[in-house]
């Protein structure tokens, strides 16, 4: 099942109606290949995945497992060679590049390992940038202040990134991802640039936002200490999903890590 070429701006995005409501994230049979010299590398292979509304899912795998590629495809940052990505009922391949940019800005909150804040802007300007880029200048303060208060950075709103700690910068990045009230938040190794205490604080914050605000969150990580905060863990290896499990079955990061190692090293579970 191949992805169609992006449509022109005059075409309306295809919206999928799903019984019982719209599923925030649906991945169906997705494959992504890259050229590497004279050879072709299959980064992800025939992956299918569904994330329900208000669910916190961790995609866990070692470096090179394909987890970040899967996240980038889910975000519409790169096109798959085959398969279908549907976010909040809209198939990404039905949109032109400009439509996809607008859709991503409104429906997908992105959090990166390196924060990706603009150095010359204050914390509040970084947070409100997606709204201003979308022409939504009315009511900024009423949307901004609750986020600043909830994330504990109201007193840092006028500071630029170089005056913020790593944990504060990531909180700014989370606020930026949430300011548009997206259908899904996608986080690529969000604790990778933080110390262990700040990293755990960010994980706890994401879990609380999921519970309090019914946020749908997908986190990519290689760390059991991060994955344990999610409700469900999807295990990847060599571009394929091996299996998944509920974190409630494990009472510590060490137990979750041991289960993960058993899965990836099991000869019975193959890609």
At what angle are helices 123-133 and 140-151 packed, to 10 degrees?
A: 140
pTM of the model: 0.89
Give the strand pairing for 82-87 and 90-91.
antiparallel
CA distance 205 to 201: 6
Edge-first strand order for the sheet with 108-112 is 108-112, 184-188, 217-221, 56-60, 232-237, 240-246
Instruction: Indicate the helix (H) or strand (E) that contains 217.
Output: strand 217-221
**What is the chain's pLDDT, residue by residue, as a tens digit (271 residues)?**
333 333 434 444 544 443 446 799 999 999 999 998 889 999 999 999 999 999 999 999 999 999 999 999 999 999 999 999 999 999 999 999 999 999 999 999 999 999 999 999 999 999 999 999 998 888 889 999 999 999 999 999 999 999 999 999 999 999 999 999 999 999 999 999 999 999 999 999 999 999 999 999 999 999 999 999 999 999 999 999 999 999 999 999 999 999 999 999 988 665 4
Instruction: Indicate the helix (H) or strand (E) that contains 255.
Output: helix 253-265
Residues 144/71/55/205 CA torsion (nearest 10 deg):
-40
Residues 215, 209 contacting (CB under 8 angstroms): yes
C-alpha R_g of the chain:
19
Report how far Cα 253 is from the mean position of its chain's Cα atoms.
Answer: 21
For 15-141, strand residue ranges (E) read: 25-36, 39-51, 56-60, 82-87, 90-91, 108-112
For tokens 């279908």, name the residue: 84
Pick the CATH number of 53-78+94-265 from 3.40.50.300, 3.40.50.1820, 3.40.50.720, 3.40.50.150: 3.40.50.300
Q: Where are the domains of the chain?
A: 53-78+94-265
- Of the candidates 110, 114, 111, the residue with the CA atom closest to the CA atom of residue 101: 110
CA distance 57 to 218: 5
């Amino acid at each position: 099942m191949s992805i169609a070429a992006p449509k022109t701006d005059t075409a309306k995005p295809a919206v999928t109606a799903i019984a019982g409501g719209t599923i925030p994230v649906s991945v169906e049979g997705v494959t992504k290949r890259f050229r590497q010299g004279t050879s072709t590398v299959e980064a992800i292979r025939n992956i299918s995945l569904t994330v329900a509304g208000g669910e916190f899912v961790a995609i866990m795998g070692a470096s090179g497992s394909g987890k970040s590629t899967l996240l980038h495809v889910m975000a519409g940052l790169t096109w798959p060679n085959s398969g279908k990505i549907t976010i909040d009922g809209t198939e990404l391949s039905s949109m032109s590049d400009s439509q996809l940019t607008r859709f991503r800005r409104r429906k997908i909150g992105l959090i990166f390992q390196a924060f990706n804040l603009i150095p010359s802007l204050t914390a509040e300007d970084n947070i409100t940038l997606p709204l201003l880029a979308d022409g939504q200048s009315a009511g900024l303060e009423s949307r901004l202040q609750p986020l600043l208060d909830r994330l504990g950075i109201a007193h840092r709103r006028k500071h630029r990134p170089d005056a913020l700690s790593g944990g504060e910068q990531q909180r700014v990045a989370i606020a930026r991802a949430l300011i548009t009230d997206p259908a899904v938040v996608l986080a690529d190794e969000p604790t990778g640039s933080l110390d262990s205490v700040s990293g755990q604080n960010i994980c706890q914050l994401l879990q609380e936002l999921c519970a309090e605000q019914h946020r749908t969150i997908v986190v990519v990580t290689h760390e059991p200490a991060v994955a344990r905060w999610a409700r469900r863990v999807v295990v990847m290896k060599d571009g394929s999903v091996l299996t998944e499990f509920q974190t409630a079955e494990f009472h510590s990061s060490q137990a979750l890590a041991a289960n993960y190692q058993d899965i990836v090293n099991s000869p019975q579970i193959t890609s």
